[in-house]
Structure 1
């Protein structure tokens, strides 16, 4: 069978790359605005609440740690004028407050808040409360709480984030290929270009993320990107520190690249190295491998320690596994790109290099499967509805489908690897220049125009020889096409992964839906957050009946916040003389741990710093005393992750 011609080979790549570009554009432009891991858990006054007298301050409590600017909470009166007095105060344990001015008139007030979640994403919102009685207001929640991530700044930030991931993949994959799969690749210009492209893209994208951070987490004004005060504030945050650290590590990576493609490449290119050169090559290989590993782990950690892995459950395990996940992606996908450019430019690429990369890819895919399953469980759980009814779950299903498709194509590539010839088309000796128009060689050299013609002719002949040698093995041409397909699919896969990092995890989305009365199902097919409990009580006295509504957030090991609200049978807030809470973990003989909730408002108590050391089924004993003699203790089980 006649091997495919170069024209046939090039047509398929164009279609694949076009499809990848269109898919990437669709993902970036059609994806919903990035949401965050944290959400507003409670406020005082509550949304829609009517209070008899003006409160001294507004208190907001979030499900996780957040950071606020001094003007992160604004209170607007019915005419839209500011009603707060002073900057935001951090009360600790996820709570923040802002003082109100004196002599506030009756009417409806709007509270607009804008914070940055611990996993680096901005969130904002607004709610209303009324003093005396509700009234008309000129303020709309959308205008009061603009979103910087929903607009041009959000799109540019997502593009820069995608470019950063892509740059890391190219940089890590190219360097690993040169050190592990084929050391001679360090001296090949094509591989050098891949590594330098990755380094430049990652450095540029990181710097762009640093500048765009202010408008992205603010009101979206791109002019704020050059606000030095805003840049200083960004650097003081966890995300800003991570970006600056990444730039510093990239400076060291620049030295690494110079040594790899400089001194190391020259040592490897020695035709007959003596013992000293061989020893230096071994020492340099070890040093580059060690230094490269440290740099790669450090750069990957700048993502893991500032995004989803750094918040939520089991962060001590999630962060290192996320680093492994990122390194495996770079080894696999970046190595694929490096292999592709070598298959197109290196006729004598040895079969052993392809086989070594096949082994590296297999190990990387195994690591991706293990870490990916853990990440999926951590962010989704075991609920099928959380996969199908949340944006995060649906994107995760798309990612799984893409990974399966890439693996199917990779299986075909692996089969072709075994059929490659070992010594295919060794580079031919340069042909003698063909004189143009006759004459002696000296005369040709003296004529600049003729010398340029000879140079072009020589280059064309070398390219033709390379293409003939490259396509001499039909299995190599087939491998090149299948690897190109893998790379095109990988570009789309990377876009989906970028989208996942900016989407609310399914567990959080389900919990938010439950708190707001939504229909999304959570773990174990229940719509109730494990930390939201309803406990009927009857102390036996006059007006001693009602329901205690208990909210424990985030219902995980470590520090929690508890809100207790008592309502009478008609649903109106009701009081009590004293409230007490005790928590016990019978399975491990821990407790009782006692807490004295602080009375906040009529029928509302809160306890901060509720530290639970172990996961499991905790027994919560709530003691309610409505008079000197009327008291009861009710017990309920709460599951702590």
Structure 2
């Protein structure tokens, strides 16, 4: 329960795209009002809602938005006045997951209280998203996967109850796709759960990669239902489309499928989904057949026993590939929410594999017609279904946990923009963590052309922690770019000062805060 609360509780960090820099920087104090505002993310995003809130609490939507690679360049609808301003933003990343946040900056003075920003309660909406996703997984893996098993694996006798069970679960999955689409729209617009039936929620939910994945899932579930109502070659054809559609739906959206290298992750997600659907889809038909009698599931059990090792092997190989890409480092297993969810999943998968090994030991006796192994195998398969449901519930939590690769993009480097009347500077600190850091400075004149300087002195200080200023001369890289290596021994809010020597009698000083994590 603690893990579920960790994932579903509101948090500003539950994002799969990350804001890595802004201009103005958060809590910056500017002498003049900026003509544009820039948000830089670790990947390309689509804007959903952006607004400026002034000190009086008046919110003004921003409609003029230009995309420049991973940057969003925002033009305020009117010149900004003195005082504090809050920029609230909400975007959607390529993996189909909305993310939002806010930053503040001041013009002229910083003594004005921050405006109040209304925060929507997220826990009920996230709980609904989690339940809907779990139902979709059950529909695809048990419903569509079961249809494939019934069509392709030999059976001693047809079982109408199994067919009806798979059909009902598929219908639940279809309903969950519809509900999940509306919930996605609510999440994109940051609307409360009571707006679930609004037209805007449904229309927004069908946009982007999530809409594509939802459409493929609907096709897969419908094909599975047609297969359950068919016989012979038609059932095999429709069920094969349903099985492949299950893998395609999972590969069409989500942080795992959209990570780089794309060909590795998309292929791995597809293989993972197909193999999982074959394994899970077999459990319900096998369990019901064994319950009906000694002869009902003999042929199916024999065929499944021969083929399942190949599916499990491909399942584990694709899972390892995805974990390597998403984690990046072993320590992320216990230092990130994503890694903690993965650890729980791994523990449950090991338990599932233990049941699978037990089943292989019981299979020869069950095939021989022995009553005791058959009953034990039936109970083991029922336990497998319970563990599978737990695994799918845990996997659904990944909708709310950013993978370490996304977190690394936000923390490996920090970008700060500094402004003065006669100079501007883009300062990149890598890594953005305490310890030795490389500081790269790109100097620009007010007209955004490279600023020529004879020398550049970089100074770091942290008066709040009693750390005196440390200065170092930067090395010129040409075209207004400079680099210097320094040390920020502790995390916190540091003051960075640039002494830009234009000539022997002309020096410009630019100063601003930087955050070291």
TM range (shorter): 0.7 to 0.9
SS at match of 1:384: coil
Tell me, yes or no, if structure 1 residue 78 matches structure 2 residue 55: yes
Question: CA 1:294–1:350 in structure 2 vs 1: closer, same or farther (change >3 Å)?
Answer: closer
Task: Show CA shifts across 1:158-191 (max 9, x none).
Answer: 1000110011111233223223333355x31221
Match for 2:86 among 110, 132, 135? 110
Moved more, 506-515 or 384-393: 506-515
Deviation at 1:324, TM superposition (A): 0.9
Q: For 1:254, what is the secondary structure of its paired residue?
A: helix
311, 316, 321: which one aligns with 1:369: 316
1:400 Cα deviation after fit: 1.2
Change (3 A) 1:67 1:527: closer
2:306 aligns to what? 359
Deviations 1:368-404 (A, max 9, x none): 11000100001012x2211110111111111111111
Pick one of 331, 340, 346 that aligns with 1:385. 331
Normalising by structure 2, what TM-score?
0.78
In the alignment, structure 1 residue 326 sits paired with structure 2 residue 270: no
1:625 positional shift: 11
Partner of 2:102: 126
Call closer, same or farther: CA 1:172–1:147 in 2, change over 3 Å: same
**Structure 2 Cα separation of the partners of residues 67 and 176 of structure 1:** 38
Please report the RMSD computed on the Cα atoms of aligned residues, expressed in angstroms: 3.5
Q: CA deviation at 1:343?
A: 1.7
2:72 aligned partner: 96
The question of 1:579 aligning with 2:490 is answered: no
Would you say 1:544 and 2:455 are equivalent positions?
yes
Q: Distance in 2 between matches of 1:29 and 1:57?
A: 39
What residue number does 1:19 align with?
Answer: none
Count of residue correspondences? 453
Structure 2 gap segments, 5+ residues each: 416-430, 443-451, 461-468, 483-496, 505-517
In 1, Cα distance between the equivalents of 2:244 and 2:455?
60
Q: Which residue of 1 aligns with 2:448?
A: none
Counterpart for residue 143 of structure 2: 171
Shift of residue 254, structure 1, vs aligned partner: 2.9
Q: For residue 249 of structure 2, what is the aligned residue in structure 1?
A: 302
Q: Contact 1:50–1:129 (CA<8 Å) still a contact in 2?
A: yes
Question: Where does 1:587-602 land on structure 2 (aligned, <5 Å)?
Answer: none
Q: 2:378 aligns with which of 446, 463, 480?
A: 480
Q: What is the SS of the residue equivalent to 1:312?
A: coil
Question: In the TM superposition, what is the alpha-carbon distance from 1:570 to its structure 2 partner?
Answer: 5.5
* Maintained 8 Å contact 2:31/2:108: yes
CA 1:88–1:102 in 2, change beyond 3 Å: closer, same or farther?
closer
Identify if the C-alpha distance between structure 1 residues 316 and 349 changes in structure 2 by more than 3 Å, giving closer, same or farther: same
Q: Deviations over 1:592-620 (max 9, x none)?
A: xxxxxxxxxx98xxxxxxxxxxxxxxxxx
Q: State the match for 2:125 in structure 1.
A: 153
Residue by residue over 1:125-173, the C-alpha shift from the partner in whole angstroms, topping out at 9 and shown as x without a partner, is 1111010110222524xx35x457x221211111000110011111233
Greater Rg, structure 1 or structure 2?
A: 1
Work out the CA distance in 1 between the residues paired with 2:302 and 2:25.
Answer: 63
Paired residues of 1:49 and 1:129 also in contact (CA < 8 A): yes
Correspondent of 1:49 among 28, 35, 38:
28
Counterpart contact for 1:386–1:507, Cα < 8 Å: no
- Residue 232 of structure 1: aligned partner: 203
Distance 2:325 2:151 in 1: 34
For residues 535-581 of structure 1, the C-alpha deviation after alignment (integer angstroms, 9 at most, x for no partner) is 599xxx986133599xxxxxxxxxxxxxxxxxx97699999994369
Q: State the partner residue of 2:296.
A: 349
Q: Distance in 2 between matches of 1:174 and 1:536?
A: 59
Report the Cα offset of residue 225 of structure 1: 2.2
Distance 1:516 1:123 in 2: 19
Aligned to 1:505: 403
Distance 1:410 1:242, change over 3 A: closer
Question: What does residue 183 of structure 1 align with?
Answer: 155
CA distance in 2, matches of 1:121, 1:75: 23
> How many angstroms apart in 2 are the aligned matches of 1:137 and 1:492?
47
Instruction: Report the alpha carbon displacement of residue 114 of structure 1 after superposing the two structures with TM.
Output: 1.1
CA apart distance, 1:237: 2.2
Residue 395 (structure 1) aligned with residue 293 (structure 2): no
* Aligned-residue offset at 1:361: 2.4
- 1:80-129 Cα offsets, whole Å, 9 max, x none, are 11255x41413231222332244533111111111122212221111110
User: How far 1:626 moved relative to its partner?
Assistant: 5.9
Query: TM-score, normalised to structure 1's length?
Result: 0.64
- Counterpart for residue 229 of structure 2: 258
Counterpart CA distance in 1 for 2:346 and 2:239 is 30
Report the secondary structure of 1:318's partner residue.
helix
Looking at secondary structure, tell me which structure has more strand per residue: 2
Report the secondary structure of 1:322's partner residue: helix
Q: Within 5 Å, give how 1:13-32 maps onto structure 2.
A: 28-29=4-5, 31-32=7-8
Deviation of 1:317 after TM superposition, in Å, equals 2.2
Aligned to 1:521: none
CA contact (8 A) 2:36 2:76 kept: yes
1:65 and 2:40 aligned: no
CA apart distance, 1:50: 1.0
The structural deviation recorded for 1:355 is: 2.3
Matches within 5 A, 1:550-561: none
Residue in 2 that maps onto 1:606: none
Distance in 2 (CA, whole Å) between partners of 1:201 and 1:409 is 27
Give the whole-Å Cα distance in 2 for the aligned partners of 1:511 and 1:319.
20
